[in-house]
Amino acid sequence: MDSIKAIINGREINAEPGMTILQAAKANGIHIPTLCDHPAVSPFGACRMCLVEAEKNPKLLPACTTPITAGMVVNTNTPKVIEARKAVLELILVRHPLDCFSCPSNGKCELQDVAYELGVTGSRFADAGDTNTSHVYEDANPFYVRDLNKCILCGRCVRVCEEQAQYHAIDFQGRGIKTSIQPPVGSPIEESDCVFCGQCVQVCPVGALSEKTSLGMGRPWDIEKVKTICSYCGVGCELEINVNKRTGKIANVTSNYESRTSLNKGRSCVKGRFAWQFVNSEDRLTTPLIRDGDTFRKASWDEALSLVAENLSSIKEKDGGDALGFFSSARCTNEENYLMQRLAREVMGTNNVDHCAHL
């Protein structure tokens, strides 16, 4: 199908059929600010931060939900557009606490970025007492904390739970100024269908949701992201390890919803996203150990592997292959588990092979 030609900010661009104005702009390197849009979820049009002006249209259009059409002429930064965005942002800031210094999202907050871009430092619509303080800071969950006073109701968490995790564990509750994101009425999050995959935390644009495991581990400007494969099972999910460049230790684990090499397309389970503390555990073995009487002594890999091979061979020669059993792990790759069962069956002559990934 032929591409669509349109004009954005006086520049002719090409777009694929079905693209929105926002998607077409992104594809051509044109910035349009937004708070509710995210590559992991479908367009929603909640924040209205992406308003643009289109010729022959009497009103401003949300770029995230408006399809781009052939010959459309769009302007993203006219005085009318900028003034509308500032007004929208100030309405969001009426109830949002401006305690950025103590916020865990300071430096990576998208609301902060948009306010800086537009030069907005407060809200002209706010009166004394409007700042949201009615929600209790929730830190009982072992994986993340919730500060709903900072929630801007962008709906990203609700949509990613429904569309990606497919649990629908949270939704908009209440009406008007009392609207908040909550699990089903009367149920705490721990008793809902939530599996703590953490996708809602990652897509949150502000400090309403944050990983408890990463608190105090490093500021955004200290972090370097390293792409790797999750070590918890053989599926092979792609993760981004957030390493603190000053300490050399892991500060957090995230994922990239736009990565072209990602099998999981940004999704992860609770273990892959939150259970990374074992990496720096003092209980981890860093060298092979060989039992010497009632104690263990350190050994080289060559010595340890030779001892294992000798003992396996002697047991097989004396009692036969079925005197041996092999136990493999879901945290190994499929190829490594395949080799383990070949070692058991073909080399040692036994079918006594088991694996931890069963009920």
For the chain, residues with pLDDT lower than 70 are 1, 185-191, 358-359
- Our measurement of the distance from residue 344's CA atom to the centroid of its chain's CA atoms, rounded to an integer in Å, reads 39
What is the pTM (predicted TM-score) of this model? 0.83
In angstroms, rounded to a whole number, what is the distance separating the alpha carbons of residues 197 and 24? 31
End-to-end CA distance of the chain: give it in Å, rounded: 49
Q: Which domains, and CATH codes, for the chain?
A: 4-92 (3.10.20.740), 124-214 (3.30.70.20), 220-280 (2.20.25.90), 289-355 (no CATH)
Token pair 């390493």 in the structure block, residue: 243
**Residues near 19 by Cβ (< 8 Å), separated by ≥ 6?**
4, 27, 67, 68
DSSP string, 245-282: TTT-SEEEEE--TT-TT-SSTT---HHHHH--GGGG-T
The phi and psi torsions of 216 (rounded to 5 degrees) equal 80, 5
Q: Are 95 and 206 in contact (CB under 8 A)?
A: no
* Both tokens assigned to 65: 């939900």
3-state secondary structure 92-137: HCCCCCCCHHHCCCCCCCHHHHHHHHHCCCCCCCCCCCCCCCCCCC
d(CA 141, CA 79): 45
A 10 A CB-CB count for 131 gives 17
CA–CA separation, 93 and 110 (whole Å): 13
For the four alpha carbons of 271, 276, 277 and 280, in that order, the dihedral sign comes to positive
> For 184, which DSSP code?
S
Six-digit token string for 110: 């998208």
Contact 20, 31 (CB under 8 A): no
- Residue 26: CB partners within 8 Å, gap ≥ 6? 32
pLDDT of residue 188: 62
Contacts of 123 (CB under 8 A, 6+ apart): 90, 91, 93, 94
Structure confidence at residue 359 (pLDDT): 45
| Alpha carbon of residue 235 to chain centroid | 18
pLDDT tens profile 47-93: 999 999 999 999 999 999 999 999 999 999 999 999 999 999 999 99
- Provide DSSP, 197-264: --HHHHH-SSSSEEEGGGTTS--GGGEEEEEEE-SSSTT--EEEEEEETTT-SEEEEE--TT-TT-SS
In eight-state DSSP terms, residue 195 is -
- Given the DSSP bridges, would you call strands 353-355 and 326-328 parallel, antiparallel or unpaired? parallel
Q: Which amino acid is at 93?
A: L
